[in-house]
Structure 1
Amino acid sequence: MTYRLTLPSGFIYDYTNLFGEGKVTAEDLASLSDRLDQAHAAITQMRATGEVRGHLSKDGTPELVLFTQLPYVEDGNLNNPASIQRLKDFGQSLRYSTDAVVSFGIGGSYLGNKVLFDVHAGEFWNSKSTAERNGYPELYFSGNNIDPQRTTDLIDCLKRKAIQKVASGETYKVTLIVISKSGSTLDTMSSFMVVCDALQLANITVQVVTVTDPAEGANRTLLKKLADDQGWPSFSVPDGVGGRFSVFCDVGLVTAACIGFDIDAFLAGARDMDQACLTGEPRSNPALFNAALKYLAAEKYNRDIEIFMPYGDYLKSVAEWYVQLLAESLGKRADREGNTVYYGRTPVVAVGTTDMHAQTQQHQDGKKNKVVQFVQLADWSTNPLVPNVFPAVAKLAEIADLTMSQALDAALDSNAEALAADNRFNAAFILPRLSAYHLGELLYLLALSVAYEGELANVDAFDQPGVEAYKKILGPRLKALKA
């Protein structure tokens, strides 16, 4: 029997191999009915007021959770017509005037941006001509690791491009976008300062744009004060939106603006997914149902590792974004009452046929402690036919005259069937095509799912106290190094 939840947009959640006899059962779901009702009520309350039971900021003060507001572009909201227009105007200002943009950020300030870049621009964006990019600049990422070699290589790359352009009598211009809520993020700010200084010493024209906490006065962040003092334009990292949810606000959309990504369609996809998840009936609410199945698979059947496996190279960054989302949201030592629970499902990145040749041995024959979550595209914008180049070679002739997507889908289906035959749980999100709209649907579904799962597990899905442990050690250690 096939089980699918299909939305009007054509987005499909296929949970055939995750639900039913020998998997998560209808009886399992029924046993969770009261908690599902409570979880839905809690998320409904969060949507209406931003309030989440027991949630505190890292400073220990009550904090609203507002990411569900972001798809709705309305006056008075975090995303409003003026803020979206400002992003679009910024993107337009770069066209045919800026040669390269370097985006500095880590965590949610990098991962979401990389998703939007990969889906819209792809690996070879910077190799295209300005005309082929429709006037938009090349785009590079930095600050997502403290890496001396890659940072030096990036500087050398930009210097070479500047020399080539200056030799033809033109000016080479670079825009540096620094994304940090506090302005003191070690990875981001150290990389930014190294690159900015090197480019200026090389007499390259540099513009700096910041994305930081918009607070004014005595509450200004280090980066906001620096931006004000230097006259740098600033976009906002809004309160109430954690980094792992920030792809839907200025933090992610500033990169979208730099490459001509369709911001309106992206937010429309997220908005329509939110509307699809308003019902309290689990099997009609994809985010609630996904959370329930994954929660039950982990808690009752010990499937507490999630292999997130898109079948598409440009969707690998979605899996990497999801790793942060799941790990930070649900990896919690204590529940809301302070009881030690060590809750959390471990996320793992895998990609299509690449990892069928690398990880599938473990998925198929290793411990039965995993759910494999596939992401599939129903239609591809381009789909070459495999030509019969070597008709005399029987093995190669066998795969000729198939489209690449036919071969890819056959591989996915075979993987799913083999896993299911050995009672290894798996499911699939099927996007009609790779577009800004359907990407918005997928990312929002995943974000809302972890909110629901936090309620089912009775943990705060919006804090991240575990990261403070290493920070308390790192700060004094850096000071000691300087001394």
Structure 2
Amino acid sequence: MTKNNPCVILPSGFQFDYTNLFGEGKITARDVGELSSRLEEAHQAVARMRLTGEVKGHLSKDGLPEKVLFTRLPDLDSGRINSRESLQRLKDFGQSLVNRVDAVISFGIGGSYLGNKVLFDIHAGEFWNVKTAAERNGYPKLYFSGNNIDPRRTGELISLIQSEARAGAADRDQPYRVTLIVISKSGSTLDTMSTFMVAYQELKAMAPLIEVQVVAVTDPAAGADRTLLRKLADDQGWPCFSVPDGVGGRFSIFSEVGLVTGACIGFDLEAFLAGAGDMDILCRTPDVYANPAMLNAALKYIAAEKYGRDIEVFMPYGDYLKSVAEWYIQLLAESLGKRCDREGREVFYGRTPVVAVGTTDMHSQTQQHQDGKHDKVLQFVRVAYWGNDPVIPDIFPGVAKLSEIAGLHLGQALDAALESNAAALAADHRFNATFVLPKLDAYHLGELLYLLALSVAYEGELANVDAFDQPGVESYKRILGPRLKEMKMKR
């Protein structure tokens, strides 16, 4: 945990190995030292945000002062956003689905999809929906929609649910039960609400063969301040969970927005938040070399600003970690891709994020990483222990090339590929670093995602940009609304 040992190892076993990012021919201790006063200011700003929710110059999209509260989400004891009672309500909701609901469809976009997909992939995996109910411990199948206005996929998903209901009708003495979870803070999110309304109508029309329940996740405001979706939920009698104030979509995985999906599949919500909370505590030190979130921010900031590495390739090794990379892409792009600094000066800050997966993209992108421009920093994620880790059998002993790899676990081969990729890149002064998760579970996932969320807060301070607004997103929305109205008038 010092500048002479380029690897932060946490008590949990989680590691941030920045060997290939720090030292001679890379980012130096002097580079970091030159940032010392700004790092101190950044640390104080993040501490103030953690304590008060206040971030210098941050305004809501309506131009009003707005607090930033994502750092409060792991703390169940304060009861300020999440609490033991709210977590129990989520778990009770999940249990209410067990052996009663056949399928859940989660409608959301941005963080309301990407974060939820991470929890699903890590806990359930690709083949969840083809397992038997017993193999799922009675939890329902789970599908995602609303993350694109795609006519074909929306129609095919509805047809699938209808077909499943028809196929099992003769063997059931009850309807095929579907729960639709619609996630939108405002209730006017085009992608989410349009696909939800199509599915709701089509599935409701199948009564009594299909029984539809709706759960809304939206702004908790009551009375005259109710959002469109909250009013609709109240009118229809739908149960509600909250999109909390002060928590942007890209940070909402730690709130009911993401946790509601975890509850539907039996994901360990407490362990996930505990991992995030423990990471938060460890990142309260002002020592940059012992604070993995601040260190990660400093190294990436220096890599971009001093060494021109303004593309970040996030490359976990493992199929089910691809959604983590996709979640991070939104986090990085919306938080740090900014035209202006806090004083209104045009700075055009931010790294272009790229999703990759090892070993898959070693056979597609690595050619560019290794021989293309020196404009990239690569961030690997490694899982140290896989649990079920098959041994490659020696079933073709007469084939030397195949026999050479026999006896290795698949996880060992995956590690060798990562290490070889990292070493080849480092040999050509290609910046890269590795996060190591002791195993792929809820706790260590919480550590990783929270570290990344806190890192963009630190880097926003270093770059003097607001890491919590997204004015570029609002630009197209101002054009889209009138265009849709114009299209409807021409019908």
Flag whether TM exceeds 0.5 (same fold): yes
> Corresponding residue for 2:187?
183
Letter in 2 for 1:87: L
Q: CA deviation at 1:2?
A: 5.8
Superposition deviation, residue 314 in structure 1: 0.3
| Aligned mates of 2:25, 2:301 — CA distance in 1 | 16
Q: Which residue of 2 aligns with 1:390?
A: 396
From 22, 28, 33, the counterpart of 1:30: 33
**Residue in structure 2 matching 1:236, options 237, 242, 262:** 242
Q: Which amino acid aligns with 2:196?
A: F
**What is the distance in 2 between the residues matched to 1:327 and 1:62?**
22
Q: Partner residue of 1:303?
A: 309
Aligned to 1:463: 469
SS in 2 for 1:338: coil
1:161 maps to a residue whose letter is E
Match of 2:20 among 17, 22, 46: 17
The whole-number CA distance in structure 1 between the counterparts of 2:172 and 2:307 is 67
What is the one-letter code of the residue matched to 2:358? G
Tell me the CA shift for residue 202 of structure 1.
1.7
User: 123-132 or 1-10, which moves further after superposition?
Assistant: 1-10
Q: 1:314 aligns with which of 320, 327, 332?
A: 320
Residue 94 (structure 2) aligned to one of 91, 94, 103: 91
Distance (whole Å) between structure 1 residues aligned to residue 283 and residue 357 of structure 2:
28
Residue number among 195, 202, 208 corresponding to 2:199 in the alignment: 195
Q: How many Å separate the matches in 1 of 2:178 and 2:387?
A: 32
What residue in structure 2 maps to residue 478 of structure 1?
Answer: 484
State the AA in 2 paired with 1:361. Q
Unpaired segments ≥5 residues, structure 2: none
> How many Å separate the matches in 2 of 1:95 and 1:454?
43
Q: For each residue in 1:84-110, what CA deviation from the matched residue of structure 2 results, as whole angstroms up to 9, or x when unmatched?
A: 111010000000000000000000000
Provide Cα deviations, 1:354-409, integer angstroms capped at 9, x if missing partner: 00000000000000000010000111111000011111111111111111011100
Distance (whole Å) between structure 1 residues aligned to residue 455 and residue 123 of structure 2: 25
3-state SS in 2 of match to 1:210? strand
Check whether the contact 1:75–1:81 (CA below 8 A) recurs between aligned residues. no
Write the distance in 2 (CA, Å) between the matches of 1:225 and 1:29. 51
> What is the one-letter code of the residue matched to 2:85?
A
Match of 1:158 in 2: 161
TM-score (norm 1): 0.99
Separation in structure 1 between the aligned mates of residue 474 and residue 167 of structure 2, nearest angstrom:
45
1:100–1:173: 8 Å Cα contact kept in structure 2? yes
Q: Deviation at 1:481? A: 0.8
* 1:213/1:236 contact within 8 Å kept: yes
Match in the other structure for 2:76: 73
How far apart are residue 76 of structure 1 and its match?
3.3
Distance across 1 between alignment mates of 2:264 and 2:177: 14
Aligned-partner SS, 1:103: strand
Which residue does 2:366 correspond to in 1? 360
Distance in 1, matches of 2:229 and 2:371, equals 50
Distance 1:239 1:5 in 2: 33
Residue 442 (structure 2) pairs with residue 436 (structure 1): yes
TM-score for the superposition, normalised by structure 2: 0.98
Contact 1:376 1:431 in 2 (8 A): yes
Residue in structure 1 matching 2:147, options 144, 149, 152: 144
| Partner SS, residue 180 of structure 2 | strand
Paired position in structure 1 for 2:334: 328
Distance in 2, matches of 1:401 and 1:7, equals 32
Identity of aligned residues (%): 72
**1:114 matched residue in structure 2:** 117
Name the residue aligned to 2:214. 208
Partner SS for 1:51: coil
d(CA) in 1 for partners of 2:335 and 2:140? 34
Deviation at 1:74, TM superposition (A): 2.0
Query: Counterparts of 1:257 and 1:329 in 2: how far apart (Å)?
Result: 28
Deviation per residue, 1:431-452 (Å, 9 max, x gap) = 0000000000000000000000
- The total of aligned residue pairs comes to 483
Name the SS for the 2:309 alignment partner.
coil
Aligned mates of 1:381, 1:122 — CA distance in 2: 15
Q: Where does structure 1 differ by over 3 angstroms across 4 or more consecutive aligned residues?
A: none
Letter matched to residue 359 of structure 1 = Q
Following TM superposition, by how much is the alpha carbon of 1:169 offset from its aligned partner in structure 2, in angstroms? 3.1
User: Once the two structures are superposed, what CA deviation does each residue of 1:53-92 show, in whole Å capped at 9, x if it has no partner?
Assistant: 0000000000000000000002431001211111010000
Structure 1: gaps of 5 or more residues: none
> Within 2, Cα distance between the matches of 1:280 and 1:109?
32
Contact 1:24/1:293 (<8 A) preserved: yes
SS in 1 for 2:181: strand
CA distance in 2, matches of 1:105, 1:305: 28
Could you say what secondary structure the match of 1:126 adopts?
helix
Residues 279-310 of structure 1: CA deviation (Å, up to 9, x unaligned)? 01100000000000000000000001110000
